[in-house]
Structure 1
């Protein structure tokens, strides 16, 4: 698939039509088939490979009793549409970068400058870690079984023609953010103008000049999909990016205990593998992007400290209004000290 083809992909099904298509037989009536999707990642991407491996493990561990149908990026709609399907049960399992429309508390995973190093992030997000424990209860409240995170690394800002290495330099730059709270608010705190745009529409937004850059991802995504358009990557590290491995709770509870264990064990194998591989993959693509002509900027600690203080001062109070004082007190008690 070319970069242009990826960028011009439109959702092939609306959430409603996809739900009608997929709901032809309930999981109870068709107990051997599970539907697995992602909102971001084509076949052959790291996310797509994870779906394929999750499918393989489930089918292998169940001795063929369970079969898995896989739907990659945009095959069932955009980010919000596919997450809607998961919550409604039209999709059974998902690797998602979840929307906050059902519960703003999901925004915990998008807390800016919560952890500042890989070691701290791994400890926080791993099973038993404080972020992991927070997320499990939040997802359960909207009817989703939380298996665990699928970490990618610290994100940054990819742009064309110009770039910013400090808050003042960001003035006049418009960047795409994820359409989730508090992604736009975070980039505004760092001096940027923002446009919240679904992942499937980013290529068109870049090509038409709606935005000057993309501020939602680790370097893999802008390098792999937009390197013909974007020239620079500034490693602002404002979020530790992670997908989430999850399942519709009704779908999970309709499985036998044996098959629940199969799906859970397969998800945890996927998660543990990603914790091992993610950092090396991120470093690989940082090097590869530079080899292919993208200019990369690793910011000094004092700049990152300035960014972190600005984001915490301006964004964390907004998060407390949406997520509640109890969650923010937990974040403040465990976040990396500045």
Structure 2
């Protein structure tokens, strides 16, 4: 009997020890966090660091976050591939459409024409936000929310265009996603779809005359020695996306899931408040650096918008479906 009790006691102790070890393994986690655009010290890079810091502090160090900046894990497409595959757990991305062209809804030209409309559409509960959440889920990604930057434009060297006729003969770089090239062609430009990491060389060697994928920050920060003009064409409201691989998310405890999601919400809401001010700051910096900036009138924007909607939206019906495009048509700014 004594031997039986001792054996039982030993067995129970072993179970408790194993349970403690298992609990410890569940609590500890390492997440790989990356962005496809933005070096250390850039707004995107700073957001990664804040997000990582909030996660680590919120979990009392139980979650260790490894941060990787643009080009450290590959090109835009390659890093998004890693994200979908689960080799990058958490990401601030400018989504690629190679997996699902419905992601192109984020690049639908001229959905909104003002900051107020855009913030309402992209904020949690907004109609664009809701569409993106469902599409990301179908890709196996947890959608936390957008990371807005603002309305983009066209930065060029030598000449510029404030209307479709003036764009004739200008060749600009676009993002390698649908419908970025198609949109700029509708606005009168020649296009070359070039990965972000190759844009400087393309400008330097004259492959393109300009860059047409970004808010002014990127053209000022990376290409101001190559470009002379920036025309705010507003063809896209630019936003990154805060997301997590769904399997990686499910592998976390519920407490850790809440910490990661709450940290994402904090950096997202901070960006909603800061984006417009930051954009205005970089307009000023660009002008001080010698770049000539053009803010188009409402009527000039509407001329561009009509051309893009007429030529690009029907293509999007075919690529992403009439149901999604019906939502966009019902909610987009009326011209």
Q: Could you tell me the TM-score, scaled by structure 2's length?
A: 0.92
Aligned to 1:83: 80
Q: Distance in 2 between matches of 1:31 and 1:65?
A: 5
Shift of residue 291 of structure 1? Answer: 1.3
Q: What root-mean-square deviation, in Å, do the aligned CA atoms of Structure 1 and Structure 2 show? A: 1.0
Q: Distance in 1 between matches of 2:215 and 2:94?
A: 13
Q: Distance in 2 between matches of 1:317 and 1:30?
A: 50
Aligned to 2:32: 35
1:217 counterpart = 2:214? yes
Give unmatched runs, 5+ long, in structure 2: 1-24
Shift of residue 32 of structure 1? Answer: 1.6
Q: Distance in 2 between matches of 1:119 and 1:98?
A: 23
What are the residue-to-residue correspondences of 1:37-186 with 2, within 5 Å? 37-186=34-183
Give unmatched runs, 5+ long, in structure 1: 1-27
- Structure 1 segments, 4+ long, off by >6 Å, are none
Shift of residue 195 of structure 1? Answer: 0.2
Q: Distance in 1 between matches of 2:37 and 2:82?
A: 15
Shift of residue 288 of structure 1? Answer: 1.2
Q: Distance in 2 between matches of 1:58 and 1:121?
A: 28
Kindly provide the CA deviation profile for residues 85-137 of structure 1, in whole angstroms up to 9, marking residues without a partner as x. Answer: 00001100000001001000000100000000000000000000000001101
1:333 counterpart = 2:334? no
Q: Distance in 2 between matches of 1:306 and 1:160?
A: 23
Kindly provide the CA deviation profile for residues 71-96 of structure 1, in whole angstroms up to 9, marking residues without a partner as x. Answer: 00000000000000000011000000
Counterpart contact for 1:177–1:184, Cα < 8 Å: yes
Counterpart contact for 1:176–1:211, Cα < 8 Å: yes
What are the residue-to-residue correspondences of 1:141-290 with 2, within 5 Å? 141-290=138-287
Q: Distance in 2 between matches of 1:40 and 1:258?
A: 30
Q: Tell me the matched-pair count.
A: 311
Shift of residue 31 of structure 1? Answer: 4.6
Which of these residues, 289, 301, 306, is aligned with residue 304 of structure 1? 301
Q: Distance in 1 between matches of 2:331 and 2:296?
A: 24
Structure number with the higher helix fraction is 2
Q: Distance in 2 between matches of 1:180 and 1:238?
A: 14
Q: Could you tell me the TM-score, scaled by structure 1's length?
A: 0.91
Instruction: Give the secondary-structure state (helix, strand or coil) at the position aligned to 2:318.
Output: helix
Counterpart contact for 2:26–2:253, Cα < 8 Å: no
